[in-house]
Amino acid sequence: MTTDTSAKPSGKRWTVGTLTYTTGGLVVLFFWLLWGDFAWSLKDRSVPSVVQLLLNKYQASDLLSGLLIGSLPAAFTMILGPVISYQSDRHRGRWGRRIPFLLIPTPVIVFSMAGLAFCPQLGRALNQALGAWSPGLHPSILILFAVFWTLFEFASVTANSVFSGLVNDVVPEPVLGRFYGMFRALSLVAGIVFNYQMMGKVETHFAWIFLGMGALYGVGFTMMCFKVKEGDYPPPSPPTLPRLNGGGFLSAAKDYFKECFGHSYYVWYFVVMAVSWAMMHPLNLFSVYFAKSVEMSMDTYGKCLALTFALSLLVSYPLGVLADRLHPLRLSLGVQGLYFVATLLGGIFARDAFTFGVFYVVTGVLGGTWITAVASLGQRLFPRSKFAQLGSAAGLVGCAFSISVGPLVGIFLDYAAHIYRYTYFMSSGLALIGFLGGLVVHAKFMALGGPKHYVAPEV
């Protein structure tokens, strides 16, 4: 195998690192990666909506919902992301440097989803066992729910920390945008299937949904891990985050932050991505609550979400192609400007089930479009040698921001009589800040060579 890392096509062949693909080989690679993504997406598309409904059903406050759904995953990403990604970058083994970190958490995710399925029964048993010491039936259920949800997020974040690293290692750069377009399309298909067929049944059949999605995820993701093969990697660079003993750890942490945050260009990128991802949090965290507040049935809500995904699906692959040709930074900025306008209008006009449904679909499509447009941006801006490490640093900043967004929005809504229309104004403000910061990143990007001559600054 060659060691060309330029990932440029040569006739009918594409190379990335020591891997070389024919067109047929690339098709097989895409099939297994997308098969694993479909399993992952079914999990991601089903679990959050079910969780929101269960929290609402068992009388959780908006603050608690914001903490569990928004802050907890962000906190785990902030703590685990740098450690897992750093170790993955430097791991060398017979299964590669990414696959072990994807395979090991899989049974934990399946187990935690089974636990979530039986939370009501386990909560009743806990309530009876505690007797006079019990905080009550609903609090007992919520306590167990929080335990299994924490386990679920712990394992999910571990796998998610390196999945994009696997894609970066095995997918040639000239087709990254196309891959992420298909990646996004399949994720949307998963969302359409779940929300159109199952969302109206969540409140009565959530246990079977958890169990079924857990089984599908366990089988699908495990198959991907065994079928996708990584190439050979050069020896890792001398460790800057080595030992966890005393001064060694502090020195390593200092080196890590110096490497990742020592260049203003990357710092700007980290902050802009943090704000931009967070622009969707206020809407997404409380969309089910908004639907219920305007008396929209969960079946109708699911149909609206399915329509959102269907419209996003139509543009997902063309967006991937456009990202390859125009550049994901420029494309994402244009979409973000439209998202700002749409959410601002939603805050003004979304006052009943019909107008909420209209703006939910419009902003959902634009938010999904931004996600598709920006999907390959990190791969296009970071040096390949430190991709996962810089990605983890971006995650650190993003999580530090996201940890505060969910609870702050929840506290505001608890004290604002649960007027969920305000979440549109919050998302609009964050979108504007992210857009303005993105213009700064674009100016720095052009100074580094622009789309045709860009050279990523080394760290």
How confident is the model at residue 249, as a pLDDT?
57
What DSSP element (H or E) covers 349? Answer: helix 328-349
- pLDDT(236) > 90: no
CATH classification at residue 372: 1.20.1250.20
Q: Which residue has the higher pLDDT, 61 or 214?
A: 214
Interhelix angle 137-170/72-90, nearest 10 degrees? 30
| Overall number of domains in the chain | 1
237 located within any domain: no
For 260-318, the DSSP string reads: HHSSHHHHHHHHHHHHHHHTTHHHHHTHHHHHHHTT--HHHHHHHHHHHHHHHHHHHHH
28 located within any domain: yes
3 located within any domain: no
pTM over 0.85: no
> pLDDT exceeding 90 applies to what percent of the chain?
20
- pLDDT(119) > 70: yes
How confident is the model at residue 8, as a pLDDT?
47
**Tens-digit pLDDT profile for residues 408-439:** 888 888 888 888 999 999 999 999 999 999 99
335 pLDDT band (50/70/90 cuts)? Answer: very high
237 pLDDT band (50/70/90 cuts)? Answer: low
Full residue range of the structural domain in which residue 204 is found: 18-230+251-453
Mean pLDDT taken over the chain:
82
How confident is the model at residue 251, as a pLDDT?
67
**Tens-digit pLDDT profile for residues 200-235:** 777 778 888 888 888 888 888 888 888 888 877 777
263 pLDDT band (50/70/90 cuts)? Answer: confident
Q: Which amino acid, one-letter code, is at 25?
A: G
Mean pLDDT of 81-92: 76
**Tens-digit pLDDT profile for residues 13-43:** 778 777 888 888 888 888 888 888 778 777 7
154 located within any domain: yes
334 located within any domain: yes
How confident is the model at residue 239, as a pLDDT?
53
Tell me how far CA of residue 51 lies from CA of 45, 166, 214, 215, in angstroms: 11, 29, 14, 18
How confident is the model at residue 238, as a pLDDT?
60
Tokens for 233? 């990697």
Weakest mean pLDDT among 119-128, 323-332, 381-390: 381-390
375 located within any domain: yes
Most confident residue range from 210-224, 285-299, 347-361, 363-377: 347-361
Helix locations, 91-136, DSSP H:
99-103, 106-117, 119-130
246 located within any domain: no
1 located within any domain: no
